């Protein structure tokens, strides 16, 4: 666990790290290391901005056919970081804001939150996974098909 004090020090803070495990529930397992490159800049006393990139490959189960499949996660990080003390008083309309204690800023917790936000809700092994199963259903042996064909 890496902790930074974002209330003190010089900015921007440049981070480059690799994680081999995450503790985010309901997502697949890391197949490769998760690579993070980020820069944290100070905007004002209790507001910081993080820009960077996140890359990794996860192994998950297709929600349609239940095969193991790779999920490539690659996304840009553009997040405002504010002190947890401002959570209830914050009236801004920013979509991407991460709240945490700036004196004991846990980088892994921040990265886990970002992964949880960008991980796909529906995991499929291919775009046409549903149609492949439907084709299989159509080829199934139907009893009394010849009689139905005669009636039609």
Whats the size of the chain, residue-wise? Answer: 152
Taking the domains of the chain in order of start, what are their residue ranges?
3-125
CA-CA distance, 114 to 111, in Å (whole number)?
Answer: 5
For 29, counting Cβ atoms within 10 Å of its Cβ (0-12 exposed, 13-18 middle, 19+ buried), the class is exposed
First to last CA, the chain: 69
The pLDDT averaged over each successive group of 10 residues in the chain (152 residues) is 81 90 87 92 87 93 89 91 79 75 89 90 82 52 70 71
pTM for the complete prediction? 0.74
CA angle 106, 108, 110 (to 5 degrees): 75
Can you say whether the dihedral through the CA atoms of 86, 92, 93, 94 is positive or negative? negative
């Amino acid at each position: 666990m890496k902790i930074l004090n974002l209330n003190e020090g010089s900015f921007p803070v440049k981070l480059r790290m690799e994680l081999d495990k995450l503790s985010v529930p309901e997502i697949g397992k890391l197949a490769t290391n998760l690579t993070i490159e980020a820069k944290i800049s100070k905007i004002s006393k209790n507001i910081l901005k993080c820009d960077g990139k996140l890359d990794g490959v996860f192994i998950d189960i297709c929600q349609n056919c239940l095969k193991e499949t790779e999920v490539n996660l690659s996304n840009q990080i553009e997040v405002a970081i504010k002190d947890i003390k401002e959570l209830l008083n914050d009236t801004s309309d920013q979509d991407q804001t991460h709240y945490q204690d700036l004196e004991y800023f846990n980088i892994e917790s921040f990265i886990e939150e970002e992964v949880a936000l960008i991980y796909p809700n529906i995991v499929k092994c291919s775009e046409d996974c549903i149609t492949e199963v439907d084709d299989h259903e159509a080829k199934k042996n139907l009893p009394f098909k010849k009689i139905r064909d005669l009636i039609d």
